Structure 1
């Protein structure tokens, strides 16, 4: 079985797809065959843009993925840009369909990067939230957090959720050019309370290795 990594974030538009693409490159540099999986994407009028971008990026390094279809990379899609629970009208999501798609993808890979939708407590249907997927898929979680004011609260809430559910995880900051106050307003707290801090742009290779070590 391929090693499975579930990429999530503290909220929507934090940088999951950006980070996943960096991980595709990092694992490919390590000589590993990388696959991608976007189980659910909302806001899809025709083509699932996030899933398509990930698939195309992965195919550059692992051409075997071209034997799959975009429907297999992104099995569940909804037009409304909302939580799957809302976008899908609260109907049950066929989880077995996701399991089957993941198994097909990982037969071509050493590592599968699974990108969630929104954050950990985005509801999928009446029974399931995003935070339930890493355990279902047997994946280690990578949490992407932001560097804006408020990141301390957002990050700690998400780390507590991962700890409370006893999920294995690694986390890192996706700092953007406009996050100029981070070093003054937020970094001092994190530096005082955490031994290792990862900044995704700077530390993607170290993040990739740590995720593999966490799986092992």
Structure 2
């Protein structure tokens, strides 16, 4: 089984796909063959945009993935841009379908980046939420958070959820040009609360290493 990373965020449109693309590059520079997987994408009318972006980026680094199609990368595609529970009209989703798809991709890579949909508490069906997938996949989690006003609350809520679920994780801030006054209104608290802070675009190589370390510790605990 390849190393697995589940990329989630504090909400939708925070930068999961952007971050996943950067991670593809970082792990590839380490000499790893990288694969990508997006179990569920909603808001799909013709092509799953996020899944396709991930696939093309990974393919540019790992040509072995050329044997796959976009339907191998994105198992469930729904037209309604909503939580999977809503987009799938509340129908139960068989998670074993994801395991079958993942095995096909993992045969072609050393590490796989699995991108979630929305945030951790997005409902998949009546039994599962997005936060249940990292445990199902036995994956380390990378949490993407934003730098706009409110990021302290959003970040701490998601970190609290991960820690309550006893899920190993690394987190980082996706700071954008429109995120005003972050260094003045939010960064001082993060510096006070945390020993180290990752800003995704400039610290992606350090993030990749931290994720590999987290996976190693996770595997030691399982052993």
State the TM-score, normalized to the length of structure 2.
0.96
| C-alpha distance in structure 2 between counterparts of 1:179 and 1:82, whole Å | 25
State the distance in 2 between where 1:13 and 1:207 align: 20
* Structure 1 partner of 2:41: 41
SS at 1:121 equivalent: coil
Any idea what the Cα deviations from partners look like across 1:61-80, whole Å, max 9, x if unmatched? Answer: 10111101111100101000
User: 2: distance between equivalents of 1:133 and 1:180?
Assistant: 33
Per-residue CA distance 1:87-146 (angstroms, 9 max, x = gap): 000001121111100111111111100000000000000110000000000000000000
Deviation for aligned residue 1:180: 2.7
SS at match of 1:38: strand
SS in 1 for 2:176: coil
Aligned to 2:79: 79
Q: Which residue in 2 is equivalent to 1:17?
A: 17
Q: Does 1:150 align with 2:150?
A: yes
Following superposition, the deviation at residue 159 of structure 1 comes to 0.3
Partner of 1:114: 114
Q: Is 2:56 the counterpart of 1:67? A: no
Q: Distance in 1 between matches of 2:179 and 2:120?
A: 23
Match of 2:187 in 1: 187
Gaps of 5+ in 2: 217-223
| Distance in structure 2 (CA, Å) of the matches to 1:46 and 1:65 | 21
Give the superposition deviation at 1:32.
0.4
User: Which contiguous aligned blocks of 4+ residues in structure 1 show a shift greater than 2 angstroms?
Assistant: none
Per-residue CA distance 1:142-183 (angstroms, 9 max, x = gap)? 000000000000000000000000000000000001113000
Number of matched pairs: 216
For 2:29 and 2:14, locate their aligned partners in 1 and report how far apart those are by CA, in whole Å.
25
Pairs within 5 Å for 1:94-133? 94-133=94-133
| Distance (whole Å) between structure 2 residues aligned to residue 94 and residue 120 of structure 1 | 19
Equivalent-residue separation in structure 2 for 1:49 and 1:203 (angstroms): 26
TM-score by length of 1: 0.99
1:155-166 mapped onto 2 (5 Å cutoff): 155-166=155-166
- Distance in 1, Cα, partners of 2:131 & 2:143: 11
Where structure 1 has 5 or more consecutive residues not aligned to the other structure, the ranges are none
2:208 is the alignment partner of 1:205: no
